[in-house]
Amino acid sequence: MNSSSPDPETIRFALHGGAGDPPPGAGPQPQQRDVLRRVAGEAHALLRAGASALDAVTRAVELMEDCPLFNAGIGAVLSRDGQPELDAAIADGTDRACGAVTGISRVRSPIRLARAIMERTPHVFFGGAGAERLAAELGLELVEPGFFITAERLQQLEAAKRAGAITLDHDDHAFCDDDAAFGTVGAVARDSRGHLAAATSTGGLSNKLPGRVGDTPVIGAGTFADDRSAAVSCTGTGESFIRSGFGHAVHARIAWCGWTLDRACAEALESVAHYHGRGGCIAIDAQGNIALPFNARSMYRAWVEADGVVRVAIGPGGDGA
């Protein structure tokens, strides 16, 4: 295949809505499953209609940011002082172009700002007030921080504070026994021309210290794409994903050592565990293989292989209903 001949057979897509350790009685969570199915279906339809991998992951993450059930955009978890501090990144496998943003609370769609940074500035990474000023200059929609805050997240923050914990979004705070919990959203895609892209957006960890930055906006850690290897989007204890250099480690094992996607992701996840972290990733390689490994009790995920069927799963075990 070459880049002038689109081939629908090459299309793949995967989506995550975070990982964590929900209570054993959390049940089948039909609402979350419905959202994952709908968003993956919409992204896949875009790819079928000829959209680029970049457009598909941008749209999927934007839709997830608008859903209060997941930890990004509306419904993002809150930092210790009760404020949303949002991070996002996007990576284009074609030429390693990328854009990232951290610590913002006034930009309606952090992933749209990351994309604009990539395409409309000479830079790749913006933070805080400068990022928000840039968003205004670029004409992106601005909102008040309260726009992102939900009653559930305020309760979750209080529970995390009572437990003295810094938690992942989906963790069961009642019995959370370590200092972590997640819920980030992310998407990876391979389009009809074989190009790869990845996008991730998050509120980070509940009860995190103000100013803390996780792996999500760090290109080569929580978000990465290179057409020669894979597109990767992570969720989990950001500090451990940064320490393991997750996205770039997957790339290096595939591009330089000839490893399979499964093996490269499993090794990177072992490294996360070694650095005391939990979580998982979604990844698609240049051949269209998909890997969805995680070492928490659950990872909310949906994926579409060559057969075009949208599959959804939360707990361990493969092709969830």
Contact set with ligand ASP (CB under 6 A): 18, 71, 168-169, 182-184, 202, 204-205, 214-216, 222, 235-236, 238, 279
Smallest separation (angstroms) from ligand ASP to the CB of 203: 8
Smallest separation (angstroms) from ligand ASP to the CB of 160: 13
Instruction: List the Cα angle 91/43/16 in 5-degree steps.
Output: 65
User: Which residues neighbour 108 within 8 Å (Cβ) at sequence distance 6 or greater?
Assistant: 73, 140, 141, 142, 143, 147
Catalytic-role residue among 10, 184, 235, 237:
184
Nearer to ligand ASP, 119 or 270 (CB): 270
Burial level of 155, CB count in 10 A (0-12/13-18/19+)? exposed
Smallest separation (angstroms) from ligand ASP to the CB of 316: 18
What end-to-end distance do the CA atoms of the chain give, in Å? 33
Nearer to ligand ASP, 73 or 279 (CB): 279
The SS3 of residue 152 is helix
Smallest separation (angstroms) from ligand ASP to the CB of 257: 26
Nearer to ligand ASP, 44 or 173 (CB): 173
Nearer to ligand ASP, 8 or 211 (CB): 211
Nearer to ligand ASP, 93 or 183 (CB): 183
Catalytic residue list contains 184: yes
Query: Crossing angle, helix 110-120 and helix 53-65, to 10 degrees?
Result: 150
Dihedral-angle region of residue 103 (phi above 0 means left; psi in -120 to 50 means alpha; beta otherwise): left
Whole-angstrom distance, CA of residue 33 vs CA of residue 216: 23
Of the candidates 291, 2, 42, 44, the one whose C-alpha atom is nearest the C-alpha of residue 191 is: 44
Nearer to ligand ASP, 103 or 183 (CB): 183
Cβ–Cβ under 8 Å, residues 207 and 161: yes
Smallest separation (angstroms) from ligand ASP to the CB of 44: 23
User: Which residues neighbour 162 within 8 Å (Cβ) at sequence distance 6 or greater?
Assistant: none
Smallest separation (angstroms) from ligand ASP to the CB of 211: 13
Report the number of secondary-structure helices (H) and strands (E) in the chain: 8, 14
Cβ–Cβ under 8 Å, residues 211 and 78: no
Q: Mind telling me the catalytic residues?
A: 184
